[in-house]
Structure 1
Amino acid sequence: MSRTALSEPWTPTRIGWLFQPVSDRGHEKAMVLSVYRDHGVIPKDSRTDNFNRTPENLSNYQLVQPGDLVVNRMKAWQGSLGISEHQGIVSPDYEVLRPTTLEYDRRFLHSLLRSRALIDQYALRSTGIRPSQWRLYWDEMKTIEISLPAAEQQRTIADYLDRETARIDTLIDEQQRLIDMLRERRQALVTRAVCFGVDGAVELRDSGDDLVGLVPQHWTVKSVRHWMESLDGQRIPLSGEERADRRGDFDYYGASGVIDHVDGYLFDEPLVLVSEDGANLLMRSTPISFAAKGRYWVNNHAHVLRPRGEGDVDFWAQRLEALDVTTVVSGATQPKLTAGALMGLRVSAPDDIDEQRQIAAYLAEQTSKIDLLIAESERFVELSRERRAALITAAVTGQIDVQEMA
């Protein structure tokens, strides 16, 4: 690694000289830890977005001590590793590495081993047919060369990074709160429009259904199966290998929207797609319902619905997005919205196609303004994270003299 800014010599070494594999099992009562790309090693129950089920039998889980390096073999090339500050146990699929010496600053090593420069090395040394199957094994990881400054200089660099990354993280947190607020505003706007229309003076009535509540006087309440026709029988899933052999220009939809492009299509009309499975059914961090148009392919992870009669797909995509599906989602490990559960949900909507189109047009105009603000904030967050990663890499590889910048 290049070191242009610092005059003091850095000592070359290898990861394998600093750590050695350990496998201490049989500690079922210890706290379960998990490894995140963005957070390193943390208690698993400290995150609400981890839907991987912890097995009942933890006897094969490995003990981790503070200072141990924990590596997710399958995601090391994405940066999913870190030096633990906690004692606990981790999946047997992880590599647990114990330091052979305590001469080095733990914070410095944590930043170095998670830096872009090292992540690139993990990717080069990972093996597998495709990225989703890549694994980094210790025999390869231990050969990676790194350079380390003296212990005092490590502490100086670590202190500098603590200060600077904290400043960047504060800015990111502020923008993330703004994004969350904008998304809440957007959702409230959509829910109001698709549940009550855009006429603020409309008279409401009791629907007679506790889950539906009040509805405009002239709207109808019916189950989804009476509003929409299911075309799920026409879906065909393609494996990753098949898609790789069939690259093309047609959108390939899954539960989260367009996930690939292939050389053929199954549908040639505007339709509504609804996620069938995935953690997002509960988290709702991205839409679960969207309008698909043109010619496209749909796999078996998204329900395919055609509005009956003259229903507007843009309206119905938003109307179904506003539904609370948490009460009918099944499966703890892999949340699933079955066709029967979806089609049985009761929904209020106007029968008049013109009113559906009016609501859809209003939402297209209003949400586009909010989406622009969200995109600007997300771009700021992306650039800030890139700057953060670049700063860490430059500092831990000696490309900048942090003493001059203190």
Structure 2
Amino acid sequence: MSRTVSLRWALNLRSGTSCEERVDEGGFPLMGASGMIGRAARCNTMAGSAIIGRVGTVGAVSLAHTNCWASDNTIVATAGPTLYPTYMYYLLVGARLSELASKTAQPLLTAGAIGAQRFPVPSLAEQHRAAAFLDDRTSSLDALMGKRKAQLELLRLKRFSAVRDLLLRGHHGAKTKKTGLAWLPEIPADWDLVPLRYLTVCLDGKRVPLSSSERSDRQGPYPYYGASRVVDHVDDYLFDEPLVLLGEDGAQLGNPNLEVSFYVEGKAWVNNHAHVLRPAGINGRFLTEVLNVFDRNLYMSGATREKITQDEMNRILVPVPPASQQEELVHRILAARSQHVKLENALRSQMHLLGERRQALITAVVTGQFDVSTADGRNVTEGVSA
């Protein structure tokens, strides 16, 4: 028999705390909203606790298998005497906590919102049985999602490799000349190698950052760009012309297989984390592709945070083909990108389907809609091939 109770009576909830003592090796896992983000010298959370994303990846749930440090971006849940810790984890996953977050520019989840949720709590013996069932069934779904994630990463690598290959090869059969650059050792003889300052007009002085609260009050149709993507939409714009954006700072700069440059047409707002460049004498789309594959390490500075300063940006050496070849290369690059994007979207769709089936199964079990004693759950991956 199960009795339905508010979660505040079945588990203990508290906020995580900021970690002041990080270590490079050893120590304890440092847990953020979406999982492990580093190592901590001390722990503030015991094994068996559930770590819940409070801000950032709101509502994400992970189970602490060892003692750890839960950061201030999390809420920590520990099981009361009526809850088995692993079942508590599934109960929280089944609660779809992301749907409880505040509807603001920066969604926030509170312990009060979690505690107010009501769920049936079966006997400890039934909880053990349900947790074992879910461990078994979700492991197959997790394995499939892991395989899809690996395939997606491989496709992303191939996409960047395809762009580099087109730049390296230029035109088939063309005479080449040395560049002195490790990432682009030679280019066709009729290409030039030009510092970025001579190919663009920098419009960084027109950027205006808006805080999350300011953006919350100014929601609208115009994309608001940060270092690596559109992070919001606002009610006004700063630019209305073809532009190339280049991330100025952020962790993505250190990963050569993440995009840091974007071609923007139309009305947009850009904050102070992306350089704003007006192409002058070069195809903007071509320049965007080059800025996504050049060796960023040659131009990055910053001891604790990767950064490309305006001075360093201006020194970036850009391979410049004749104008007609730029258009042709853009066409070939976009055609190759289109094929990769189709495959990537298909994989993302499969991952989404697997995630939804995992979520639906867990929710059905913890709400009592799915009787684990009579069902085998063999169809949870039906329709998704290995």
TM bucket, shorter chain: 0.7 to 0.9
CA contact (8 A) 2:16 2:72 kept: no
Distance 2:212 2:46 in 1: 38
Any idea what SS the aligned residue of 1:229 has?
Answer: strand
Which amino acid is 2:86 matched to?
R
Amino acid at match of 2:277: L
Question: Secondary structure at 2:244's aligned position in 1?
Answer: strand
Describe the SS at the equivalent of 2:236. coil
Q: CA deviation at 1:221?
A: 1.7
C-alpha displacement of 1:387: 1.3
Counterparts of 1:105-254 in structure 2, within 5 Å, are: 105-120=84-99, 122-123=100-101, 130=104, 132=106, 134-137=108-111, 141-197=114-170, 199-210=171-182, 212-254=184-226
Distance, in Å, in 2 between the alignment partners of 1:131 and 1:147 is 33
Corresponding position: 1:319 with 2:290: yes
Q: Report the Cα distance in structure 2 between the residues aligned to 1:370 and 1:398, rounded to whole angstroms.
A: 42
Q: Contact 2:32–2:73 (CA<8 Å) still a contact in 1?
A: no
Partner of 2:3: 11
Q: CA deviation at 1:109?
A: 1.1
Shift in Å at residue 283 of structure 1?
3.1
Instruction: Give the whole-Å Cα distance in 2 for the aligned partners of 1:385 and 1:268.
Output: 39
How far 1:381 moved relative to its partner?
A: 0.7
Partner SS, residue 183 of structure 1: helix
**CA deviation after TM superposition for structure 1 residue 267, in Å:** 2.4
1:44 aligns with 2:56: no
- Structure 2: distance between partners of 1:319 and 1:27: 39
Aligned residue for 2:30? 33
Q: Is the 8 A contact 2:183 2:295 kept in 1?
A: no
Give the 3 Å change call, closer, same or farther, for CA 195–265 of structure 1 in structure 2.
Answer: farther
Q: Secondary structure at the match of 1:403?
A: coil
Is 2:255 aligned against 1:283?
yes
Equivalence for 2:380: none
Q: Which runs of 5+ in 2 are unaligned?
A: 377-386
Aligned length: 371
State the shift of 1:142 in Å: 4.2
Q: Does 1:85 align with 2:65?
A: yes
8 Å Cα contact 1:75-1:135 kept in structure 2: no
Offset at residue 356 of structure 1 (A): 0.8
Q: Distance in 2 between matches of 1:35 and 1:241?
A: 23
Distance 1:249 1:90, change over 3 A: closer
Against the structure 1 CA distance between its residues 188 and 161, is the aligned structure 2 distance closer, same or farther, given a 3 Å change threshold?
same
1:39-80 deviation per Cα after TM superposition (whole angstroms, max 9, x unaligned): 5xx5735xxxxxxxx6xxx6xx6522222344454458x223
Say whether residues 1:341 and 2:312 are aligned partners: yes
Flag the 1:149–1:383 CA change in 2: closer, same or farther, 3 A: same
Amino acid at match of 1:16: R
In structure 2, relative to structure 1, the CA distance for the partners of 1:285 and 1:131 (3 Å cut) is farther
Contact 2:208/2:271 (<8 A) preserved = yes
Shift of 1:379: 1.0
Deviates more, 1:377-386 or 1:230-239: 230-239
Runs of 4 or more off by more than 6 Å in structure 1? 21-29
Q: In structure 1, how many angstroms separate the alpha carbons of the residues matched to 2:108 and 2:366?
A: 26
Structure 1 residues 188, 88: closer, same or farther in 2, change over 3 A?
same
Residue deviations 1:202-254 (CA, integer Å, cap 9, x gap)? 22222244564222222212222122221111222333444444444333322
The structure 2 residue matched to 1:257, chosen from 199, 211, 229, is 229
Structure 1 residues 176 and 224: CA distance shift in structure 2, 3 A: same
Inter-partner Cα distance in structure 2 for 1:24 and 1:130:
21
Question: Which residue does the alignment assign to 2:45?
Answer: 64
Specify the alignment match of 1:49 in structure 2.
Answer: none
Counterpart of 1:341 in structure 2: which amino acid? Answer: E
What value does the CA root-mean-square deviation take over the aligned residues?
Answer: 3.1
Q: Does 1:386 align with 2:366?
A: no
Deviation at 1:163, TM superposition (A): 1.7
**1:131 Cα offset (Å):** 5.2
1:405 aligns with 2:375: yes
Task: Assess, with a 3 A threshold, how the Cα gap between structure 1 residues 239 and 95 changes in structure 2: closer, same or farther.
Answer: closer
TM-score for both structures, normalised by structure 1: 0.80
Deviation at 1:284, TM superposition (A): 5.1
Is the contact made by 1:27 and 1:89 (CA closer than 8 Å) also made in structure 2?
no
How far apart are the structure 2 equivalents of 1:27 and 1:318? 40
Q: Counterparts of 1:287 and 1:23 in 2: how far apart (Å)?
A: 34
1:132 is paired with a residue whose SS is: coil
* Higher RCO (Cα < 8 Å, 6 or more apart): 1
**Amino acid paired to 2:88:** L
Q: Which residue is 1:308 aligned to?
A: 280
Q: Residues 17, 285 of structure 1: CA spacing in aligned structure 2 closer, same or farther, 3 A cutoff?
A: farther
State the identity as a percent: 30
Distance of 1:354 and 1:241 partners within structure 2 = 46
Aligned to 1:295: 267
Question: Could you state the TM-score of these two structures normalised by the residue count of structure 2?
Answer: 0.84
Q: Distance in 2 between matches of 1:154 and 1:79?
A: 22
